[in-house]
Amino acid sequence: MSKASERAYAEIRGLILSGDAPPGAPLTEEALADICGVSRTPVREALRRLEAELYVVRSDSQRLFVADWNSEALAEMFTLRAMLEAHAAARAATRITPAALEALRACNARITAAIAGPEPDVASFLSENRSFHEITIAAADSPRLATMLAALVEQPVVRRTAARYNRTELARSAHEHGELIQAFAAQDAQWAQAVMTGHIRRAFHAFSAAEPVQ
Amino acid sequence: MSKASERAYAEIRGLILSGDAPPGAPLTEEALADICGVSRTPVREALRRLEAELYVVRSDSQRLFVADWNSEALAEMFTLRAMLEAHAAARAATRITPAALEALRACNARITAAIAGPEPDVASFLSENRSFHEITIAAADSPRLATMLAALVEQPVVRRTAARYNRTELARSAHEHGELIQAFAAQDAQWAQAVMTGHIRRAFHAFSAAEPVQ
DNA sequence: AGCAACGCTATTGTATACAAAGTGCGCCGG
DNA sequence: CCGGCGCACTTTGTATACAATAGCGTTGCT
């Protein structure tokens, strides 16, 4: 995406996720344009995107407000993500190329390394974890699925989940990735699906155990 | 959505679905603006939406083309729809209100009536069928799920499927709706999920049996 | 005093003009 | 003749001005 539009998107999303724009707060295009330092045009595009991703909701007539994500909505998000990403894993199992499989192995090796030291490198973990899932989704080779998952996987949520993980849980996460790689190598769709389901749902419960949202 | 923007959306979508804009054809904002009789601004919004729904794809650098939906893509669409809509049915089973249940009964009664005569009223069938599924999805009470399904259920596809149904199959469709209502009344999520899965997958195979796309 | 209608204002929708960026073609050089 | 460079043109991105519309307050009438 282009520069101003992308910036507006990131900026507004940041306002929402940081809580500066609390749930229910009205969002006017002009005010946001001022804040972002761009004109209304890219702001409008950013808002459309945020609306599609349900960060903002459109009221009775076309006025936008910050959506409130209660715990129920988060639970549904994780459920949908588990369902779809497990399906992606199943597809990937029978489609993945040797090169992608190797990339996953390398990725997970870096994850293991990141959490090996006395002080886990959470930043690296997150970055590599993201790559791992992206490679998997790409291997599933389904644009629709990829689009849907992109709207579903919120990195701030992932980050908070990882922040909640202790060393043991981080290691278990890496272990699950390893098992997923095995399932892919065996081209066992059901196995891959099951492992991914557990992987995401465990993340959900780790997340839920964390302090309430905001 | 507003008037010009909505019109542009419908117009462009029509061009794509009718085949006037064949898969792979480049789409320029200005040309579309001329065709639709509006300016580029609403056309851009329409294109964003169509892009999110994967009617059009954005090439290497920001140029738009008509996406081609091969049979593989259609299969994946049906698979995703079956998965998500079955999940919606499962949620609906434990959440549906008596009023919504009654609305479903009335809806299905109208469907049954529409296919009762010597010449099935396919238009009514389609309209009521759409209502039936919309009520179900609304009863699931999950905005995210609703958004995703909206992007997945293409009415032209549904229409073609129904056009392929003979009287027996139309009746079977209504019967499946009836069973779904029973599952809802019993608040049996698993049952509802299974019935919906079968309902969609049968539609998929009826669709696949039809002549190739375009 | 309450209700309704009017008009003002705030906000979104659309058009257009301009800026930037990428593509393709042609020209020049090897 | 082929390849690379550069310029022109096409296309998209952004800003701004104007139009339409919905909310809301105020004022006047009952």
Q: At what angle do helices A71-95 and A189-209 cross, to 10 degrees?
A: 160
A166-178 residue pLDDT tens: 888 889 999 999 9
SS3 A57: strand
CB atoms within 10 A of CB A205: 11
Rounded to 5°, angle at Cα B157 from B152 and B159: 125
A2 and B62 in contact by Cβ < 8 A? Answer: yes
CA of A3 to C1' of C19 (A): 13
The 10 Å CB-count burial string (b at 16+, else e) for B45-80 is: bbbbbbebbbbbbeeeeeebebbebeeebbebbbbb
Q: Where are the beta strands (DSSP E) in A90-197?
A: none
Q: Which of B43, B144, B157 to mutate to test the interface with A (most CBs of A within 10 A)?
A: B144
Cα–Cα distance for residue pair B56/B158, rounded to 1 Å: 20
Instruction: Please tell me the distance in Å from B189's CA to the nearest CA on chain A.
Output: 15
Query: Pick from B41, B48, B144: which is nearest to A54 by CB?
Result: B144
Average pLDDT (B108-124) is 90
Beta bridge partners of A27: A64
Cα–Cα distance for residue pair A78/A114, rounded to 1 Å: 25
CA of A45 to C1' of D17 (A): 19
Rounded to 5°, angle at Cα B10 from B8 and B11: 60
B41 CB less than 7 Å from any atom of strand D: yes
Full-model pTM: 0.84
Query: Pick from A77, A80, A142: which is nearest to B76 by CB?
Result: A142
B136-173 residue pLDDT tens: 999 999 988 998 998 888 777 777 777 778 888 889 99
Do the beta carbons of residue A93 and residue A143 sit within 8 Å? no
Cα–Cα distance for residue pair B10/B16, rounded to 1 Å: 10
B15-73 residue pLDDT tens: 998 889 999 999 999 999 999 999 999 999 999 999 988 899 998 789 999 998 888 88
User: Which residue intervals of B29-97 are DSSP H helices?
Assistant: 29-36, 40-52, 71-95
**Which DSSP symbol is given to B71?**
H
Phi and psi torsions of B20, nearest 5°? -60, -35
pLDDT at A112: 94
The nucleotide lying nearest A41 (C-alpha to C1') is D14
A146-162 residue pLDDT tens: 989 988 887 777 777 77
pLDDT at B210: 65
Cα–Cα distance for residue pair A107/B69, rounded to 1 Å: 33
